[in-house]
Amino acid sequence: MHGQLRRIISSEKPIGSRSEFIDRPPLTDNSGEVRELTADDFKAMRPRVEVDPCMVDVIEAMRNKGGRPKVENPRESIAFRWDRDLVAIIKATGKNYNARVEKVLRDAVARGDL
Protein backbone atom coordinates (compact mmCIF):
# COMPACT_ATOMS: atom_id res chain seq x y z
CA MET A 1 0.00 0.00 0.00
CA HIS A 2 2.72 2.48 0.99
CA GLY A 3 4.58 1.80 -2.26
CA GLN A 4 1.43 2.36 -4.31
CA LEU A 5 0.68 5.60 -2.47
CA ARG A 6 4.25 6.79 -2.94
CA ARG A 7 4.05 5.96 -6.66
CA ILE A 8 0.80 7.92 -7.03
CA ILE A 9 2.09 10.92 -5.12
CA SER A 10 5.33 11.00 -7.06
CA SER A 11 3.45 10.54 -10.38
CA GLU A 12 5.67 7.64 -11.32
CA LYS A 13 4.42 5.34 -14.06
CA PRO A 14 3.79 1.77 -12.93
CA ILE A 15 7.13 0.00 -12.95
CA GLY A 16 8.27 -3.44 -13.92
CA SER A 17 10.86 -3.83 -11.19
CA ARG A 18 11.24 -2.28 -7.77
CA SER A 19 14.81 -1.14 -8.57
CA GLU A 20 13.56 1.32 -11.22
CA PHE A 21 11.66 3.16 -8.50
CA ILE A 22 14.35 2.96 -5.84
CA ASP A 23 17.07 4.34 -8.14
CA ARG A 24 15.28 7.68 -8.45
CA PRO A 25 15.85 10.23 -5.68
CA PRO A 26 12.75 11.09 -3.66
CA LEU A 27 10.88 14.24 -4.65
CA THR A 28 10.84 15.50 -1.06
CA ASP A 29 13.40 15.64 1.73
CA ASN A 30 12.80 14.56 5.34
CA SER A 31 11.19 17.91 6.21
CA GLY A 32 8.73 17.61 3.31
CA GLU A 33 10.33 20.23 1.08
CA VAL A 34 10.09 19.41 -2.61
CA ARG A 35 13.41 19.41 -4.40
CA GLU A 36 13.87 21.12 -7.74
CA LEU A 37 12.52 18.84 -10.44
CA THR A 38 14.76 17.75 -13.29
CA ALA A 39 13.98 16.94 -16.89
CA ASP A 40 14.19 13.22 -15.97
CA ASP A 41 11.60 13.78 -13.23
CA PHE A 42 9.22 15.30 -15.74
CA LYS A 43 9.84 12.48 -18.22
CA ALA A 44 8.96 9.92 -15.53
CA MET A 45 5.66 11.62 -14.65
CA ARG A 46 2.46 10.19 -16.06
CA PRO A 47 -1.10 11.52 -16.29
CA ARG A 48 -3.34 10.65 -13.35
CA VAL A 49 -5.56 8.54 -15.61
CA GLU A 50 -2.60 6.23 -16.35
CA VAL A 51 -1.42 6.03 -12.75
CA ASP A 52 -4.80 5.52 -11.09
CA PRO A 53 -7.80 5.52 -13.45
CA CYS A 54 -10.27 4.94 -10.62
CA MET A 55 -9.17 8.12 -8.88
CA VAL A 56 -10.23 10.15 -11.92
CA ASP A 57 -13.76 8.75 -11.57
CA VAL A 58 -13.80 9.47 -7.82
CA ILE A 59 -12.66 13.05 -8.31
CA GLU A 60 -15.25 13.61 -11.04
CA ALA A 61 -18.01 12.19 -8.83
CA MET A 62 -16.99 14.43 -5.93
CA ARG A 63 -16.62 17.57 -8.02
CA ASN A 64 -19.19 20.19 -7.11
CA LYS A 65 -21.43 20.66 -10.08
CA GLY A 66 -22.60 23.97 -8.65
CA GLY A 67 -25.99 25.56 -8.67
CA ARG A 68 -29.41 24.13 -8.18
CA PRO A 69 -30.51 20.87 -9.77
CA LYS A 70 -32.07 21.25 -13.19
CA VAL A 71 -35.86 21.33 -13.17
CA GLU A 72 -38.20 20.03 -15.83
CA ASN A 73 -39.98 23.35 -16.29
CA PRO A 74 -37.55 26.14 -15.32
CA ARG A 75 -38.85 29.58 -14.47
CA GLU A 76 -37.85 32.57 -16.51
CA SER A 77 -36.90 35.90 -15.04
CA ILE A 78 -38.42 39.02 -16.61
CA ALA A 79 -38.60 42.63 -15.50
CA PHE A 80 -41.53 45.05 -15.41
CA ARG A 81 -41.37 48.78 -14.83
CA TRP A 82 -44.29 49.55 -12.50
CA ASP A 83 -45.24 52.64 -10.54
CA ARG A 84 -43.71 52.80 -7.07
CA ASP A 85 -47.07 52.82 -5.29
CA LEU A 86 -48.12 49.57 -6.99
CA VAL A 87 -44.78 47.93 -6.13
CA ALA A 88 -45.16 49.05 -2.51
CA ILE A 89 -48.68 47.56 -2.34
CA ILE A 90 -47.46 44.22 -3.75
CA LYS A 91 -44.43 44.05 -1.44
CA ALA A 92 -46.57 44.98 1.55
CA THR A 93 -48.43 41.67 1.18
CA GLY A 94 -45.34 39.94 2.64
CA LYS A 95 -42.84 37.32 1.57
CA ASN A 96 -43.40 35.26 -1.59
CA TYR A 97 -45.24 38.11 -3.28
CA ASN A 98 -43.89 36.84 -6.62
CA ALA A 99 -45.95 33.66 -6.25
CA ARG A 100 -49.07 35.67 -5.38
CA VAL A 101 -48.62 37.98 -8.37
CA GLU A 102 -48.16 34.91 -10.59
CA LYS A 103 -51.40 33.39 -9.24
CA VAL A 104 -53.34 36.64 -9.90
CA LEU A 105 -52.00 36.72 -13.48
CA ARG A 106 -52.81 33.03 -14.06
CA ASP A 107 -56.37 33.56 -12.73
CA ALA A 108 -56.76 36.57 -15.06
CA VAL A 109 -55.59 34.47 -18.02
CA ALA A 110 -57.99 31.64 -17.07
CA ARG A 111 -60.91 34.12 -16.93
CA GLY A 112 -59.90 35.56 -20.30
CA ASP A 113 -59.09 38.98 -18.87
CA LEU A 114 -55.56 38.89 -20.32
Q: Where are the domains of the chain?
A: 2-62, 79-114
The percentage of the chain sitting over the pLDDT mark of 90, rounded to a whole number, equals 31
Beta-bridge partner residues of 28 = 34
Phi, psi of 20, deg, nearest 5: -60, -40
C-alpha span between 5 and 3 (Å, rounded): 5
- In this predicted model, what pLDDT tens digit does every residue of 88-110 receive, in sequence order? 999 999 999 999 999 999 999 99
Residues of the chain with pLDDT under 50: 1-19
- Specify the pLDDT at position 21: 55
The pLDDT assigned to 85 comes to 96
Q: pTM higher than 0.85 for the full model?
A: no
